[in-house]
A and B are shown apart, each in its own frame.
Chain A
Amino acid sequence: MRVTLLYCLCLLVLNGCGQKGPLKLPQKETLSYTTKMSTSLTIGVVPFKKEENHV
């Protein structure tokens, strides 16, 4: 039990838990956001198309 708690504490310290200051987004996430924006803009200029069928 003590070993487990110590292990978790070490993980928190190593991962910057309790770190002050501005949150830094990982580079990968920023790229992902850019990609989404690009996709959204592309959809915006593609004309809506539907097949014609009057029944």
Chain B
Amino acid sequence: MSNFEYQNGQLMAEKCTLSSIATTYGTPTFVYSKSAIEQAYMNYANALGEHSGMICYAVKANSNIAVLQVLAKCGAGFDIVSKGELQRVLKAGGDPARIIFSGVGKTTAEMVFAIRAGIACFNVESHAEIARLAAAAATAGINAPVSLRVNPNVDAKTHPYISTGLKENKFGIDILHALEVYQYAKTFETLDIVGVDCHIGSQLTDTTPFIDALDKVLELVDTLAKNDIHLKHIDLGGGIGVTYKDEVPPSISDYLASIKTKIAGRNLSLILEPGRSIVANAGVLLTEVEYLKPTEHKDFAIVDAAMNDNIRPALYQAWQDILPVKQNTHNNADNNTQPEAKNWDIVGPVCETGDFLGKDRTLALQQGDILAMMSAGAYGFVMSSNYNSRTRAAEVLIDKDKPYLVRKRETFDDLINGEQLLQHI
């Protein structure tokens, strides 16, 4: 069941009408459902069950500290890729011992900070990073727990660019060379080798590639054991897809059951790093129709949200549903008729031809209507910008019948914060 459904013609977020949220907080505004976030996390946690391991939410998908707080309260671990994300998790009450630090470009300062914070593990991606982490651990005076991210070279059955498990990208260490890299890591007294990590892609709707990758990783685990390198965990990363339009994502419980069957009897903890599948469908973006602009070739609805608020359509040509927050409630003063449903391109005010939120959407629109861009909880606000000097949107978290402003709308002062006029002219 979705946490965003129509009741009596009103699109709801839990027990709040989205129209009332728009009235109270203005637009554009991201709205998240606390319950939806909790349910999505618990799908993973329940599927993991009694098996040793952690579900580490990928903070990059949505890093609002209130969202992180909700997940921390659920007992989630966190997958971070920067010091900033680590600080957010700590601020939100996350347990450092349940944090995994991923990413190809960690700085020494980030490493030292994370080691001193007591994080669970570093996912390391290169020889050079191993040496740097060993030195950082020596500086911190604390050994660093290490997992190597290996590239199992599994075709994720999606577009080649989506398959991070393939050899042609910057991520991971070729699994064929993993043994020698582990042996290199073992030469450093300040590193504790604890695991292996892989991540084969994003928005995947078939679990077969994950299981293929797991088979290769388990072969590596056995090879390492024969070479006296004994791992405590395997981390299969994230990448489980969600329904934006008509995609059919795999069942989380079936996915976890397949993994647990494969690793049964191995005394290996299991770590997963879901992001999108926790928050994507737990959020919407509210926007108001500013103008209707029918033309000879296209009919445009110009709204007050834009590519700077949600860049996924412009950047990836991603499809997200766009719905009115009120159904059939127009009142035409002249004849009390509803506007005719037409195909509209929903576009923003940004001065870019690529600034659109949706194309060819059949909607009965009037100026002033409030629309909800669905599935906006992941890679929405976190990828927003101030392009065209637009202030970034507000964020509201709904808990049952109560809305909470978890990030206020930016102001002009926020916009120029840190900028300086020249004093000598």
Which residues does A use to contact B, with CB under 8 Å? 44-45, 47-55
- How far is the CB of B36 from the nearest CB of chain A, in Å? 19
Which of B's residues lie within 8 Å of A, judged by CB?
58, 60-61, 102, 159, 161-162, 164, 171, 199, 201-203, 237, 275-276, 312, 314-318, 353-354, 379
Given contact pairs A47-B354, A52-B202, a sample of 19 additional A-B residue pairs in the complex whose CB atoms are under 8 Å apart: A44-B353, A47-B314, A50-B161, A51-B161, A51-B162, A52-B162, A52-B312, A52-B316, A53-B161, A53-B164, A53-B201, A54-B58, A54-B60, A54-B202, A54-B275, A54-B379, A55-B102, A55-B164, A55-B171
Q: How far, in Å, is B129 (CB) from chain A's closest CB?
A: 15
Question: In the complex, are the beta carbons of A49 and B199 less than 8 A apart?
Answer: no
- Measured CB to CB, the closest approach of chain B to A55, in angstroms, equals 5
Instruction: Please determine whether B353 and A51 come into contact, CB atoms closer than 8 angstroms.
Output: no
Contacts of B276 in A (CB 8 A): 54
Q: Given A47-B314, A49-B315, does the pair A54, B161 have CB atoms closer than 8 Å? A: no
A47-B315 Cα distance, complex, nearest whole Å: 8
On whether A49 and B316 interact (CB within 8 A), knowing A54-B275, A54-B379, the answer reads yes
Chain B residues, CB < 8 A from A48: 314-315, 354
The prevalent SS among residues of A at the interface is: loop
In the complex, residue of chain B having the shortest beta-carbon distance to the beta carbon of A44: B353
Interchain pairs with CB closer than 8 A, number:
45
Given A53-B202, A54-B276: A45 touches B316 (CB 8 Å cut-off):
no
**Could you name 22 residue pairs across A and B whose Cβ atoms are closer than 8 Å?**
A47-B314, A47-B353, A49-B315, A50-B161, A50-B315, A51-B316, A52-B162, A52-B202, A52-B312, A52-B318, A52-B379, A53-B161, A54-B58, A54-B60, A54-B61, A54-B202, A54-B275, A54-B379, A55-B164, A55-B171, A55-B199, A55-B237
| Alpha-carbon distance A55/B156, docked complex (angstroms) | 13
- Cross-interface CB contact of B203 among A44, A45, A52, cutoff 8 Å: A52
List, in ascending order, chain B residues with CB within 8 A of A53's CB: 161-162, 164, 201-202
Complex: how many Å from CA A47 to CA B199? 29
Shortest CB-to-CB span from B59 to chain A, Å, is 11
Question: Which residues does chain B contribute within 8 Å of A47, judged by CB atoms?
Answer: 314, 317, 353-354
| Most chain A Cβ neighbours within 10 Å, of B60, B315, B318 | B315
Distance (whole angstroms) from the CB of A44 to the closest CB of chain B: 8
A49 touches B317 (CB 8 A): yes
